[in-house]
Structure 1
Amino acid sequence: MKFTATSKILVAALCISGLSTVSAQAAEFVAKIGHLESAAQSRNIYLEKVAKLVNERTDGNVEFDIYPQGQLGNQRQMTEGTQLGVLEATVSPAAFLGGFNPAVSVLDIPYLMPQDTKQAQAIRDSAFGKELLASFSAKGVVAIGLWPNGFKEFTSNKPIDTWKEFTGQKFRVMDSNILIEQFKAMDASAISLSFGELYSALQMGVVDGQENPLDTIERMKYYEVQKNLVISDHGAMEDVILFNPTFWNSMPENYRKIIVDTFHEVIPDLVKDKAERVAAALETIKKNGMNVRVATPEERETLRAAIYPETKAAYIERAGDEGKKLVDLYEQAYAKVSAQ
């Protein structure tokens, strides 16, 4: 008998749910929530915290069972599983959802989110953030919030002491036309490679460099095959919290509000935890001999001015009128927080 990707996740989810039957009996609403990070990483730690608080605040009537590290499938399987009701929820990096909902690729645009955490949260909470979440409803899921998960930085085996030195270099990217346009605007080239191929591609010189958060660079030991790093904070890493609509709408409105508010409430602590992990990762990277520099605010503004128009145009071309509306709302929100 052949199993499709969706049927495989159905079998896995049903088997795992059976293991928690005893603990689930007391709760009126039980949600299996799958994600890709390990149990020791920030996303999982704060999902567990949200689960505990939601359970307490609903008098034990809502229970979240958290399954980290792809236990319920890869992200595509978990997203489709949430859509179909095999899972009740998933927390996914926005970068993995562009094929499912092209509108969310707006988050791939470089320098979309300010470094200032309060300004960034104001943009998430703005009409832009609300409209972005609403765009998922047409895809058969309910998006209830955005969670920050750090920023991407550049590394290369060639010098990157100035933006001009990016000219002619080859960088690995995820399969995203926006990210390809990002490097074109920097006079560099982009090669789409899977994450699993990246270390060997850097080692063999297939690409000169890559972009990833500092804790990923440290965890994957890219410092072994890369010489230079610039802390640019150019790419915001945002998670999207997705629920199955049937499950979501089956709960009373006050429970839904508790869940949304609790996910939102823990964001400052989540940001702090992520920042501490990034700082520790940077120390490890430095100890292992990488040349590290921090881009100045002026450099970041120069780079944003150079690449924002091209990447915005690439996004709108793909996302159409819906994308244009989102960009307009974003630019209004960005102008407002920048003026404060």
Structure 2
Amino acid sequence: MKIKLTTILGAVAALALSAAAAQAQTALKWAHVYETSEPFHTESVWAAEEIGKRTNGRYKIDVFPASQLGKEADINQGLKLGTVDIIISGSSFAARDYKPIGVTYFPYIFRGPEHLIAYTKSDVFKRLAAGYEEKSGNHIAAVSYYGTRQTTSNKPIAKCSDMQGLKIRVPDVPAYLAMPRACGANTTPIAFAEVYLALQNGTVEAQENPLTTIEAKKFFEVQKNIILTGHIVDHLNTVVSKQLWSSLSDEDKKIFSDVMLEAAEKTTKIIADKEKALVASFKERGLSVTDIDKADFEKNVVEKVKFEDFGYEKSDWEAIRAIKE
């Protein structure tokens, strides 16, 4: 009887411990708008699993790719509503809460990916990220290189004036509109998930995105001219909601930050390496890939676009331009 009672009590205790462990686990949602084949997704999945491991299973993070939880504006709003806990999103959306952080989208501010990464380690970035956190409560834990934005079009483009009257899809973000509008294009904001169809049916004649996105979204199937305008060296932030970040212990904050930074570094390397190979790949597929005179485009932007129109500080632009790789 004693042995049987001990066995029963042991089983009850084990069940109680198991129930307590299950109850202690926190379920989190990590959302983004990118395809499952892209490193923004694969490295997010790795990070979600790694955080689970390093916290001994106290956090279970599910990653929702390809706009499953909404478009980019929706998931940014979701941070405030509590419907998502972590997102990957551009500073253009962070700028809706804190305009100065969007200065990184001013055309030709960065010389290339190395300059961008140097910026993310600078005092300028720390100050702008702190400004965003103060306004929104959300915490930027890491930054990934997204790619250098290039243009695809139904027609060849060699100089800024060639874009006059061109119907081009551009995200509904003020700084993204700067270069096309400075060149006289007609900009149209179309949701990211709908761009392929818009290009296919002629709703727009052009779009702009990094080469990796042009490949992942298969825009090259419906656009035969790739113009290396290189107007924006783009990035994505890994953003943790105010509610989640404030609930984490200092130890867990370090774990989340360390893992997210590691994932961002891996993403950056994958993107940079792939971009280098894609120009040759697109040419092999029979596409026209054209270099342009960036000085002509930059001159038009500087002459026709004002920092004040976007809520940016010229001093921030100057400080970022001065950063050495």
TM over 0.5: yes
The 2-side partners of 1:216 and 1:250 are apart by 35
Q: Deviations over 1:35-90 (max 9, x none)?
A: 12232211111112222333344444444332222333333332222213232222
Q: Of 67, 71, 87, which residue of structure 2 is paired with 1:70?
A: 67
Change (3 A) 1:159 1:70: closer
- The question of 1:273 aligning with 2:265 is answered no
Change (3 A) 1:220 1:266: closer
Change (3 A) 1:27 1:133: farther
Moved more, 93-102 or 219-228: 93-102
Does the Cα contact within 8 Å between 2:26 and 2:59 map onto a contact in 1?
A: yes
Q: Which structure 2 residue ranges, 5 or more long, are not aligned?
A: 1-17
Q: Of 189, 208, 211, which residue of structure 2 is paired with 1:211?
A: 208
Q: Tell me which residue corresponds to 2:122.
A: 126
Q: Tell me which residue corresponds to 1:331.
A: 318
Pairing of 1:86-97 with structure 2 (within 5 A): 86-97=83-94
- The question of 1:303 aligning with 2:267 is answered no
The count of residues paired between Structure 1 and Structure 2 equals 306
Deviation at 1:216, TM superposition (A): 2.6
Q: Deviations over 1:181-236 (max 9, x none)?
A: 32232243433334455445444555432211223323343334323212232223
The 2-side partners of 1:198 and 1:30 are apart by 33
Q: Deviations over 1:218-258 (max 9, x none)?
A: 33433343232122322233212222223212211122123
Change (3 A) 1:116 1:98: closer
Does the Cα contact within 8 Å between 2:113 and 2:145 map onto a contact in 1?
A: no
Change (3 A) 1:78 1:60: same
Q: Of 82, 99, 102, which residue of structure 2 is paired with 1:85?
A: 82
Q: Of 175, 182, 186, which residue of structure 1 is paired with 2:183?
A: 186
Change (3 A) 1:214 1:35: same
How large is the Cα RMSD of the aligned pairs?
3.1
- The question of 1:230 aligning with 2:227 is answered yes
TM-score of the two chains, using structure 1 as the length reference:
0.76
- The question of 1:285 aligning with 2:282 is answered yes
Partner letter of residue 140 of structure 2?
Answer: A
Q: Percent of pairs identical after alignment?
A: 25
The 2-side partners of 1:164 and 1:72 are apart by 40
Deviation at 1:332, TM superposition (A): 1.3
Deviation at 1:335, TM superposition (A): 0.8
Does the Cα contact within 8 Å between 2:106 and 2:178 map onto a contact in 1?
A: no
Partner letter of residue 262 of structure 1?
Answer: V
SS at match of 2:322: helix
SS at match of 1:266: helix
Change (3 A) 1:241 1:316: farther
The 2-side partners of 1:214 and 1:42 are apart by 14
Q: Tell me which residue corresponds to 1:175.
A: 172
Q: Tell me which residue corresponds to 2:309.
A: 317
Bigger Rg over Cα: 2
Moved more, 264-273 or 248-257: 264-273
The 2-side partners of 1:99 and 1:72 are apart by 20
Does the Cα contact within 8 Å between 1:113 and 1:236 map onto a contact in 2?
A: yes
TM-score of the two chains, using structure 2 as the length reference:
0.79
- The question of 1:145 aligning with 2:145 is answered no
SS at match of 2:148: strand
Deviation at 1:176, TM superposition (A): 2.9
Does the Cα contact within 8 Å between 1:182 and 1:310 map onto a contact in 2?
A: no
Change (3 A) 1:27 1:291: farther
